Amino acid sequence: MKRREPMNEDTGIRLRICDSAGKWHITLDGAGPWIIGRDAACEVVISDNRASRRHAVLRRSSRGLVVEDLGSSNGTRIDGRAIEGTAPFPGGSQLQFG
């Protein structure tokens, strides 16, 4: 998953999702937070068996966007680096699950 461009609280966040089924784009509206995972109740549903049902959460903070791993089985990476807990998610970064 990749954040495409910086956004403020009044606008949506545009993401490009790349999975085994191809590429697609979504816009996340509102203030968040947005849960990402395989569960149909998540705001961003991904169909990858390496992802947990509730894998991570993306939220706005005073520092911009941050991502938090929700205790997933296979971990979360930003630009190839494993994260623990919460980490900044700068514009143009790539978010990986598993």
Q: List the domain boundaries for the chain.
A: 2-97
Position with higher pLDDT, 69 vs 24: 69
pLDDT over 70 percentage in the chain: 82
Assess whether pLDDT exceeds 90 at residue 52: yes
User: Which of 88, 44, 51 has the alpha carbon at shortest distance from 70?
Assistant: 51
Q: Categorize the per-residue pLDDT at 5 as very low, low, confident or very high, splitting at 50, 70 and 90.
A: very low
Q: What is the pLDDT of residue 10?
A: 56
CATH for the stretch 2-97: 2.60.200.20
Instruction: Kindly tell me if the per-residue pLDDT of 89 is higher than 70.
Output: yes
Q: Taking the complete model, does pTM exceed 0.85, yes or no?
A: no
**Other CB atoms closer than 10 Å to residue 51's CB: what's the count?**
24
The pLDDT of residue 20 is: 66
Residue-wise pLDDT tens digits, 17-45:
776 666 677 788 888 899 999 999 999 88
End-to-end CA distance of the chain: 12
Measured at the alpha carbon of residue 60, what is the angle toward residues 58 and 64, in degrees to the nearest 5?
110
Mean pLDDT of the chain: 84
